[in-house]
Every structure is written in structure tokens, then in C-alpha cells.
Structure 1
Amino acid sequence: MVVETGIQGLDQLLGGGIPQHASVLVEGPPGSGKTIMGMQYIWRGVARGEPGIYIVIQELPEQLHQQMQSFGWNSRSAEQQGKLQLLSIDPYALYHDMLATEGLLERIIGSMHCQRLVIDGIGLFSCFAPDKREQRAVLYTLRNLLRRKGVTALLINEGSMAQEGYNMEHYMMDGVLQLRNRKKGRQLERTVEVLKMRGVPAAEGEHPYRITGQGIVIEPLDSKE
């Protein structure tokens, strides 16, 4: 089974959506729309009656509420109805929570029967790991927790772990989406590439996308032929 992302064009690239209970790494430079993609994904779940949690590490929940409102997504109402939680958690606390049995994240997921999760700023975990081995252990623990709880997640990272020498992190994740920005004259060209997605016949290559008033719109290359 797959989980619809609600991101126009992305489900087409993935043959219907993200594999259920998968943990997908979303990487890209500043301004590439990673947070917008995460918000769209969570909001699609709310619309389908699938409770979701969005964890921000570098912002306050109020900032995220304002961003979602700008796209017409009434996150405050959804939160009041128990369909959504926007949380700001200290990255150091969240990192060590991953090492604990029945930690805060596990309890929050269980309390609202969460089906979708976004952690925005997963790359900051590397600041607290004494070595790559422990960082991988934490990500492995997180991935297994989400699988066990039946959660389908987007884990957002600034930049690329592969470029920073963390190829094992790409291997550990069920999927990797790479967002890119390129300057073409005065224009900014944005593309998304599915680097991997286990169990899904994903479309290859870089596919252009736009950030609109309704969120991200991807234009699969096949649709242009």
C-alpha cells in the first residue's frame, strides 16, 4: 500500500505515493521548498482523516501556523480538533529522546494515533553525535520506531547527507527525495529527483517544480512528452 502525499505531480512520480510506514529523507538547499513539501504532506493527511505531527527544530509553531495559513491550510482549527500537532522541540532533547525507551516522541505518537510525521531539521542530529556510528544508531532507532507505530514520515534535512559523507544514512532510509535550485540567467530553476524509494517504481531523472499559492506543483517529465 502507498500513502498519497497530496503534492501535485509527486504521487505520479512515485506510482501512487510513498510506501506505507516508510521514512523518507527530503534534502535540499535553502529556499527549495522543503518545509512547504512537509506542510503539504501533513495537510493532505488531515484532509483524509489521518492525524499528523509536524516537529520543527529551528522555528516556533506559530511561524509554521502562519506559513500554513498563507496557503489556505487552517492548521489552528485542525490542531483544536486533535487532527494535527505542531511542535517545537529542542534538537538536543529530541536526539537523546531517540536513545530512550518509550521516550516523548513515542508517547506523543501513541496519544494521538499519529499516521503522518514530519521532522524538519533532522540534520542537526549530527551536532550531538560523538561519531557517525551513534548518529546512524539514532536514525536507525527512529526509523524502526516509526515502522513499529505505523507512521509514514518525511525527515527534512538542509543540504545533502551524501555530500557530507553520510551515504549510510541514504541507505538506511526507505526513500530519498533531492530538491535542487539552479540559477538560469535571472530565473531560478527548481527540480526534484527521487534518488531511491523502496518498493516503488519511481520515475527517474530530475523533474521541474514550481512553488505556487497552493503549494508545490511538480511537472513530471513524461507529462511534457
Structure 2
Amino acid sequence: MSSTIVGASVRTRVRIPLTFADGYSTTAEAITFDGLADGREHLAMILGDPDLGAVPLVRLHSECLTGDVFGSARCDCGPQLREAVERITDTGGILLYLRQEGRDIGLYNKLDAYALQDSGLDTYQANTELGFDEDARDYTAAAQMLVALGVDRVDLLTNNPDKVRQLTGLGITVRDTLPTGVHATPSNLGYLRAKAEHTGHTIRLAG
């Protein structure tokens, strides 16, 4: 088990039935933690029937109120969350729901960044114009959560190479990386293109 990060511990386990707007339903075991490095209320959701001893499929999903809850088409967060829940349920694994709104700049600042994007900046330029890093997310707490669950090897469901780099640096072995689908709309095409071109996300866009 990794010794590169300070330990966290499981606080509560509770089963929650989940139903999405399209009718898909499953059951998750929601897990909370004590001792996370950033002090935030991140959640682990155990989905499906993980095979003890096998390498689980894991998704690090950063909270997006506008996309996850209200179905905003300006990003692909809501569809990625829906896809991840079903894929992880099918194989058995873990979804880490991380309280990192707006690549960790917060909800109000994210909406300020949207206003700047409407004036012509891309999603990364808008963050830096507001005085933030392009991507301020730190995945130390995610690694702590995995270690607390007895996991130090994962197959990672992501398009974001920084998640792989950070988890690896924190002592979690990423055996394989599986991309999510491409959830493009007329409203988020520029956002997806910026992620692919600027930070190397594995998103294949037509044209």
C-alpha cells in the first residue's frame, strides 16, 4: 500500500438507490471519510460487484453543479457522470465524486469564467484571466480515499492525462486508462476542443 500520502479512514457507509433522468437505475454504496488532506466532503461510490483482488475500474469525477444537476450543455460533465456510473456498475468499481467545482475555482468563479468565455476566451484562458491556475485540482484526497478502501491499483476511466500523472505520483498504480465517450453538443464544442488541444485530453472531435 502507498506510503507517500497521509492516511485517511472510512467514516460512514450507506447504500443509496440511484435513478437518472433517462430512467437508468442502480445502487451505490456511498462512503465518507475522515482525515482527507483538503478537509472537504468528497464521496466514494462503490458500484456494481467489485471482484476482491481484481483491479477496479475507477472514475475521478469533479463536481459540476451546472452539468451534473441542471444538465448544462456548456460542458460534458453530466453525460460523463451518467456514462461512468453505468460502465462502473457493469464491471464493478469506484466512482470518486470530488468537490472541485470549476476545476477547483468554485461555482461563482466558474460562472464568472463562463462570462469571459462568452467574450471570446477559452475555458483555460478564462481561469487565468480571473487569477487562477488553468486547472487547480489536486488529487491527493482521491489517492487517500483509494488507499482507505484498500486500493492501490486501478484502471482509470478518464480523458485527462493529469489525473494519471497525479495518481501515479501519489503512489497509485494506473494499470490502464480507458477514455469516456465524446459528448459533444453545439454548446460545448469549443470547451471540448480546448481540453483536447490545450491539455491533451483524449477527445476525438470531428473536423
**TM-score, shorter chain, exceeding 0.5:** no
TM-score, reference length from structure 1: 0.24
TM-score, reference length from structure 2: 0.26
- In proportion to residue count, which structure has more strand? 1
